[in-house]
Chain A
Amino acid sequence: MLYREAGQFKTSYAADMAIFPIRQDRIALILLLLFAFVGIPLLANFQLWPLGSDYMLRAILIPFLILSLAAIGVNILVGYCGQISLGSGAFMAIGAYSAYKFGSGVHIPLEFLGTEISIPPLPLFASVMLGGLMSAIVGILFGIPSLRIKGLYLAVATLAAQFFFDWVFLRVKWFTNYAPSGSVAAPDLHFFGYLVHSPIERYLLCLAFVTVFALIAKNLVRGNIGRQWMAIRDMDIAAELMGIRPLYAKLTAFAVSSFIVGVAGALWAFVYLGAWEPLAFNIDRSLQLLFMVIIGGLGSILGSFLGAAFILILPIMLDQVPHALGIPVSVETVSHLVFIVTGALICYLLIVEPHGFARLWSIAKEKLRLWPFPY
């Protein structure tokens, strides 16, 4: 019942290295996953509160899951490896447009060679993964400057990626298959022969992606490569003197981070938006992801989820408050108020706990373990 680890003895290093070494945590996680995979579909099926309508799924849960995934990707680069990136939106766009191109067939005419490269339309899962892969390749390219420059200067270099790809997807018509409006529509979501259509199916698809990638990310950051990333973040000179190659550590961080962000971008476009234009992945998106990571907790997988929830859900909740209280205010005033309150809350949080929600969570857990004693 109580949050105690007394009596839970670890007899092997494997048990001590588990993600959740405390039994109560494991139980809580299993319950949460059960609720997410079984409970929510059941609630939606029987139209029970709070899933009486599709709104909860479409406007809150699906974007929350996808942005959490993107935030995990950003956290690997910024939180674990300490390389500030303002180009996450661009990497989401690369994932989205690459997946779109692979899904609709890649056709590159090479007239000067008298030949052409043609790839037939690929299945959706392959397209999404290739979208991640393309994003990873571009991520490595834009990560190369990180070997020379650090901190704010690197942030500016990644900002260049953001503006460059905003321009590319707007101006190079090849990426949008020459759509006159510049906006593209996602194909039907056939996953392994199964058509993903209804909101609950889309939700489960995103949930599956997020679960798998969160586990992979957690495994990476607690393993050898994760320690190398953190070593580079905390003291790069000492890390190099310990035999950690900065080239390898930084570029793997860029690659893994961009891959996850790219997959999230493909999901965002295909599953959440359905039809989109380059504006969906502009600098606002990059900043939003960076805020999520900072507020949630740099260097924490859990923090990525908490930050995504805060940044995404708080405005929606605030939006409902005046209605719920029956205060007659205009829609515009509400949207301004939401901005003001959200901004103030972010400032307050960063002053009170600069390490974000994840740190608050671990402090709370530490206190719970000792409760009712102070230490």
Chain B
Amino acid sequence: MKADVQERPEVAGAAHAGSDREIGDVVLSVENVSLAFGGVKAISDVSFDIRKGEIRAIIGPNGAGKTSMLNVINGFYHPNQGTITFKGRKRSVMRPYIAASQGISRTFQNLALFKGMSTLDNIMAGRALKMRRGLLWQALHWGPALSEEIKHREAVEKIIDFLEIQHIRKAPVGKLPYGLQKRVELGRALAMEPELLLLDEPMAGMNLEEKKDMSRYILTVNDQLGTTVALIEHDMGVVMDISDRVVVLEYGRKIADGTPDEVQRDQRVIDAYLGISH
């Protein structure tokens, strides 16, 4: 793992240095959450917190319950036990769109774009929550509805510029290559102007160059907009480089939690990844 990082120090590393980003108070805390599907325990008694402005990684071997954890956080799964507190508000059961309206957005492990729509429409759809004009104004597409549409188009164009996807603005996303689709999905999540951005394996299946780009986008979003990021990632080099704190899950249980250095030295983490000799 260490060697991996040293091989490509340009991925990130220096990006955090020199910036004046601040890690604030706890914005989301997960307390004693358990989730079971019938007899299968996906998550058992996991607690951790995410602080405002940090990049928090969730790692673990396959089937550790990482994606289930994200699904619990944004309300898609309801935990059997335990509570989630987001911005001081405790909740156990909630609908995903309410989590979205409170400022949580996410991307998916297996892309979940709106395939029949253009890149522009996909990202514009991310602003659905912010658009307030009623059906009648929209039917006219004039006056306040038009100015609202233009205002949000401007915001979306900024995201398109930032992600460097101007050339595919009007292309249907179903036909785009994988790497670009990942970027569009990040754009859609950013369009919600979230306070907490959940990224489920943003770099899966990417080559080195695409990973560098994606890391840069994540760091810039975190740095410039102050967005709190929680990410699941399997590339340990990237995780150890860009995240502030790491939580490690194995078989649904938390086995380590701390800074990348602490986690890397943890014997249980090493055992989980490399196996134990008997």
A58-66, A236-244, A279-287 - the one binding chain B: A236-244
- Does B150 contact A219, Cβ atoms closer than 8 Å? no
Contact with B116, one of A216, A225, A230 (Cβ below 8 angstroms): A230
A234–B125 Cα distance when bound, in Å, is: 12
**B192 within 8 Å of A (CB atoms):** yes
- Does A230 contact B149, Cβ atoms closer than 8 Å? no
User: Across the interface, which residues of A come within 8 angstroms of B125, CB to CB?
Assistant: 227-228, 230-231, 239, 242, 244
**B131 within 8 Å of A (CB atoms):** yes
User: Across the interface, which residues of A come within 8 angstroms of B141, CB to CB?
Assistant: 219, 222-223
In the complex, chain B residues 80-137 whose Cβ is within 8 Å of any chain A Cβ: 95-97, 99-101, 105-106, 108, 112-117, 121, 124-129, 131, 133, 135
**B145 within 8 Å of A (CB atoms):** yes
Instruction: Tell me, rounded to whole Å, the shortest Cβ–Cβ distance linking B96 to chain A.
Output: 5
A49–B154 Cα distance when bound, in Å, is: 51
4 tightest CB-CB pairs across the interface, nearest first? A243-B100, A219-B141, A238-B112, A234-B114
Judged by DSSP, the binding face of A is: helix
A79–B237 Cα distance when bound, in Å, is: 45
A241–B106 Cα distance when bound, in Å, is: 8
**A14 within 8 Å of B (CB atoms):** yes
Judged by DSSP, the binding face of B is: helix
- Does B97 contact A245, Cβ atoms closer than 8 Å? yes
A83–B200 Cα distance when bound, in Å, is: 29
- Does B128 contact A243, Cβ atoms closer than 8 Å? yes
**B251 within 8 Å of A (CB atoms):** no
Interface residues of B, count at CB 8 A: 40
Contact with B97, one of A13, A14, A17, A240 (Cβ below 8 angstroms): A240
User: Across the interface, which residues of A come within 8 angstroms of B108, CB to CB?
Assistant: 238
- Tell me how many residue pairs across A and B have CB atoms closer than 8 Å: 105
**B146 within 8 Å of A (CB atoms):** yes
- Does B139 contact A216, Cβ atoms closer than 8 Å? yes
- Does B114 contact A223, Cβ atoms closer than 8 Å? no
Q: Which of B76, B138, B188 has the most CB of A within 10 A?
A: B138
Q: Indicate the size class of the contact surface on chain A.
A: 20 to 34
**B74 within 8 Å of A (CB atoms):** yes
One digit per residue, 1 when the CB lies within 8 angstroms of any chain B CB and 0 when it does not, for chain A 228-271 equals 10110111011111111110000010001000000000000000
User: Across the interface, which residues of A come within 8 angstroms of B145, CB to CB?
Assistant: 223
Give chain B's interface residues, CB within 8 Å of chain A: 74, 76, 95-97, 99-101, 105-106, 108, 112-117, 121, 124-129, 131, 133, 135, 138-141, 145-146, 149-150, 153-154, 157, 188, 192
- A17-B153, A241-B96 given as contacts; is B116 within 8 A of A233 (CB)? yes
Instruction: Tell me, rounded to whole Å, the shortest Cβ–Cβ distance linking A262 to chain B.
Output: 16
**A224 within 8 Å of B (CB atoms):** yes
- Does A219 contact B138, Cβ atoms closer than 8 Å? yes
Closest chain B residue to A218, Cβ basis: B141
**A299 within 8 Å of B (CB atoms):** yes
Instruction: Tell me, rounded to whole Å, the shortest Cβ–Cβ distance linking B180 to chain A.
Output: 17
Contact with A242, one of B76, B100, B117, B153 (Cβ below 8 angstroms): B100
User: Across the interface, which residues of A come within 8 angstroms of B76, CB to CB?
Assistant: 237, 241
Instruction: Tell me, rounded to whole Å, the shortest Cβ–Cβ distance linking B264 to chain A.
Output: 32
A240–B95 Cα distance when bound, in Å, is: 8
Instruction: Tell me, rounded to whole Å, the shortest Cβ–Cβ distance linking B135 to chain A.
Output: 6
- Does B128 contact A220, Cβ atoms closer than 8 Å? no
- Does B140 contact A219, Cβ atoms closer than 8 Å? yes
In the complex, chain A residues 8-54 whose Cβ is within 8 Å of any chain B Cβ: 12-14, 17
- Does A224 contact B138, Cβ atoms closer than 8 Å? yes
- A14-B146, A220-B139, A252-B135 given as contacts; is B101 within 8 A of A243 (CB)? yes
A299–B117 Cα distance when bound, in Å, is: 10
User: Across the interface, which residues of B come within 8 angstroms of A239, CB to CB?
Assistant: 114, 125
User: Across the interface, which residues of A come within 8 angstroms of B96, CB to CB?
Assistant: 237, 240-241
- Does A242 contact B188, Cβ atoms closer than 8 Å? yes
User: Across the interface, which residues of B come within 8 angstroms of A13, CB to CB?
Assistant: 150, 153-154, 157
One digit per residue, 1 when the CB lies within 8 angstroms of any chain B CB and 0 when it does not, for chain A 202-228 equals 000000000000001001101111011
A250–B126 Cα distance when bound, in Å, is: 17
Instruction: Tell me, rounded to whole Å, the shortest Cβ–Cβ distance linking A84 to chain B.
Output: 16
